[in-house]
């Protein structure tokens, strides 16, 4: 996920038309880091409750990324 973020960041820097889009790049990076940690927690879950919590948090993160217009998540709704 972090590689995708780095590619998006480089495209953003190259394309000057994107200067009108205002968002904190560090915030987007932290969302991707949280997603990676959540995948690890889900993989190492010991019971059903932990898996359900990880799934719930994953859905919440996906909803946030959709609002920030991250292309991977926007394409799911098309």
Q: Per-residue pLDDT averaged across 10-24, rounded?
A: 58
Please count the other Cβ atoms lying within 10 Å of the Cβ belonging to residue 54: 19
Domain boundaries, the chain: 25-78
Asked whether the beta carbons of 31 and 64 are under 8 A apart, the reply is: yes
HEC string for 58-76: HHHHHHHHHHCCCHHHHHH
Q: How many CA atoms lie within 13 A of 73 on its CB side?
A: 20
pLDDT, residue 78, reads 47
pLDDT, residue 70, reads 56
pLDDT in tens, 19-70: 434 466 777 788 889 999 999 999 999 999 999 999 999 998 887 777 766 5
Write out the two tokens for 52.
């359900």
pLDDT, residue 71, reads 58
Write out the two tokens for 73.
């998540």
């Amino acid at each position: 996920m972090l590689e995708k973020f780095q590619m998006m960041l480089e495209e953003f820097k190259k394309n000057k038309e994107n200067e009108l889009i205002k968002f904190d790049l560090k915030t987007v990076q932290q969302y991707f880091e949280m997603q990676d940690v959540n995948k690890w927690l889900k993989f190492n879950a010991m019971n059903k409750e932990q898996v359900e919590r990880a799934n719930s948090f994953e859905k919440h993160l996906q909803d946030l990324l959709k609002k920030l217009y991250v292309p991977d998540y926007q394409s799911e709704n098309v």
